[in-house]
Amino acid sequence: MTVVTTLLAGVVFGLALAAPPGPMNAVIAEESVVGGWRSGFRSGLGAMTADLVFLALALVGAVAVVERVPAVRNGMVAVGGLLMLYFAYGALEGVGGSFRSSERSSGGRGFTKAFVLALTNPYQILFWLTVGVGLLAPGQVDVLSYASAALSGLVVVETGSPALLVGLFGGILAWIVGFPAALSAAERRTEAVAPAVAALSAAVLALFGVYFLYDAATGFGLATV
């Protein structure tokens, strides 16, 4: 029972990492409405592959370097901000397009775009520095015991368990399959969705890009909070 609970908890963590609105989902959305489900899914795979890289780095302790050396963290944030502005410009090109237009199809570039962007995404880095590291450490979390002593032992999650990691990436996989599918399905309802999502994606990427550049400048002492 504990294994099943741990697996389900991993799925919840995976969805919590993948589902919130942000730059990665902006890229997946833009790729989905321009190139169809496969393009969106490939972008999602790019982001998930970055999480696998962070997992491997966390297992060997390399992720902690980002936390110990502020210059490394600030540099990665700055690169991420510039990439987001660049991809925002690319998303704007799709505002006047439609679903799966051949001239706007990115082919396999969606994977590379999402992968590179995810590697410099402070939110994913922060997740693996905090929650991710905690999930890898062997131990047990009695979830409901914090709410009431009477519920102690009912929901126990084993951290450091393979089941937790399988659930985590299973949740991410479920999102990158379902999210592009939902967006692509809108093609059957209205062509107006494509330029609208492209415009929204560009706005999200631009805002996060500016924010990350300001954050990096603050870290380097070039700007004040």
- Given a cut of 70, the residues of the chain with pLDDT beneath it are 1, 62-67, 73, 76-77, 80, 84, 87, 90-91, 93-108, 130-131, 133-134, 141-155, 186-198, 201, 204-205, 208, 212, 223-225
Per residue in 120-132, pLDDT (tens digit) is: 887 787 777 766 7
| Whole-number pLDDT of residue 36 | 83
Burial per residue of 82-102, b for 16 or more beta-carbon CB atoms within 10 angstroms, e otherwise:
ebbbebbebbbebeebbbbee
22: which DSSP letter? S
Would you state the structure tokens that stand for residue 194, as one six-digit string?
């494509």
| Whole-number pLDDT of residue 19 | 78
- SS3 assignment, position 166: helix
Stated as kind and residue range, the H or E segment containing 35 is helix 23-35
CB 182 within 8 A of CB 32: no
| Whole-number pLDDT of residue 152 | 67
Would you state the structure tokens that stand for residue 9, as one six-digit string?
């908890």
Stated as kind and residue range, the H or E segment containing 135 is helix 133-136
Strands 139-142 and 156-159: antiparallel
The alpha-helical segments, DSSP class H, found in 120-161 are: 122-127, 133-136
| Whole-number pLDDT of residue 105 | 47
CB 136 within 8 A of CB 63: no
**Domain residue ranges in the chain:** 2-219
Cα–Cα separations (whole angstroms), residue 162 to 1, 126, 135, 156, 159? 15, 22, 10, 15, 9
